[in-house]
Amino acid sequence: MKPLSILSLLVVMLTACGATTQNGNSSTNDEFKFLKELGIDVNSIVKLDKEVILDYDKYPPFIMSDAQQKVLLEEVGDLYRMDEDIEGNFSILGIRALPNGQTLILYNVEFGDGASKVFAIYDKDGKTTDYMDTGYWNDTHPDESNDDYTHGTAYGDETTCSFDSPSTMKLARKYKFFEWTNNKETYEQKVVKEFWSIDKQYDYSITNEGIFQLDNITSKNVGPVDAKIATLEEISDLNFVPSTDRSLFDRVNQLALRDDIRKEIPNENCQISYRMMGVVQDLFHSQPQRLLQWISTHRDLNKNALTGVFEACFSTGLLPKEDLIEEIDKMPQGDARRYIEELTAQWGPADAVG
């Protein structure tokens, strides 16, 4: 067999090196192929490397066309968010090549005054394999201020994202109570003093099938954190559990069973009750059939407090009974459907007549 020339050997070596990336992906020419086929200029979008940098002046979001949104977001997010009656803006903040030819996309989803950050994973053909809504990353909730708004206190959320390896992701979230000052000329707000903070870290891995998996949550309190606030933040942790996680409903139920939470349901004027009902409301919007099936297989209400929270969503008017009836009609005929029909027959607004 004739030996390869040095030039031929170099060509072979360079071709082999180009066949895979450092992340073990297929040829770089195939990276983001489905995005290119949609007419998206991937070179103009930030590549999510070690960390996510949200500098909209330096890295402006990629604004998708209606056609691109329809394809990419068809299986991403709650269906009610895609309602034509609800005006929203969807853009791409960054993309990341994953092993096995998969792609991670970070979306910015704007509704009203807030902007939620949504991750979605796609296979090499552009099929959605999983998604996760991680809420508002930077949000300030005013507490009190002086008349000219130059000094006051507020609660604040700060979330960052980083990647330690090709198939892992980390979200670091800080919730704090602080004192601030505001320069009236430049409108620049500065933190003067931090009274307390709750520091969270959520560690995820991405499976070979392109599914988010929550591996661990760590939490550290700095300063005198009120017990009620700590409880509210434990409930907020549920928003960071991937919707595909098999333990999601069990996690919600475990919290709902706690005495300090269960005694507050339903109480429209209680933050704990409202936050818990919000979690279950989102579950019903995003996974109604899975929620109803879970309830039908957990019939001991001494061990199942999630059902009580779900009922409270209707008694307080957070969810309309018509939506529940529509979902029950979609259930296959059988014991589970009969149980849900009987269980929810009298559910409805607390002030309903008759």
The answer to whether position 257 is within a domain reads: yes
Q: How far apart are CA 330 and CA 314, in angstroms?
A: 19
User: What are the tokens at 162?
Assistant: 């980083």
- Whether the CB-CB separation of 239 and 280 falls below 8 Å is answered with no
Average pLDDT over residues 145-168: 92
The separation between the first and the last C-alpha atoms of the chain, rounded to the nearest angstrom, is 92
The answer to whether position 351 is within a domain reads: yes
The answer to whether position 345 is within a domain reads: yes
Q: How far apart are CA 350 and CA 348, in angstroms?
A: 6
The answer to whether position 324 is within a domain reads: yes
Q: Report the pLDDT value the prediction gives residue 328, as an integer from 0 to 100.
A: 97
| Number of domains the chain contains | 1
> Which bin fits 337, alpha (ψ -120 to 50), beta or left (φ > 0)?
alpha
Q: What is the pTM of this model?
A: 0.82
pLDDT band at 87 (very low <50, low <70, confident <90, very high): low
The answer to whether position 164 is within a domain reads: no
The per-residue pLDDT for range 277-324, each reduced to its tens digit, is: 999 998 998 899 999 999 999 999 999 999 999 999 999 999 999 999
- Asked whether the bond before 266 is cis by omega within 30 degrees of 0, the reply is yes
Range of the domain at 351: 246-354
The per-residue pLDDT for range 316-335, each reduced to its tens digit, is: 999 999 999 999 999 999 99
The answer to whether position 299 is within a domain reads: yes
Q: How far apart are CA 249 and CA 294, in angstroms?
A: 8
Amino acid of residue 135 = G
CA 35-41-46 angle, to 5 degrees, is 95
Q: Is the pLDDT of residue 220 over 80?
A: yes
The answer to whether position 25 is within a domain reads: no
The answer to whether position 98 is within a domain reads: no
The per-residue pLDDT for range 111-123, each reduced to its tens digit, is: 766 778 999 999 9
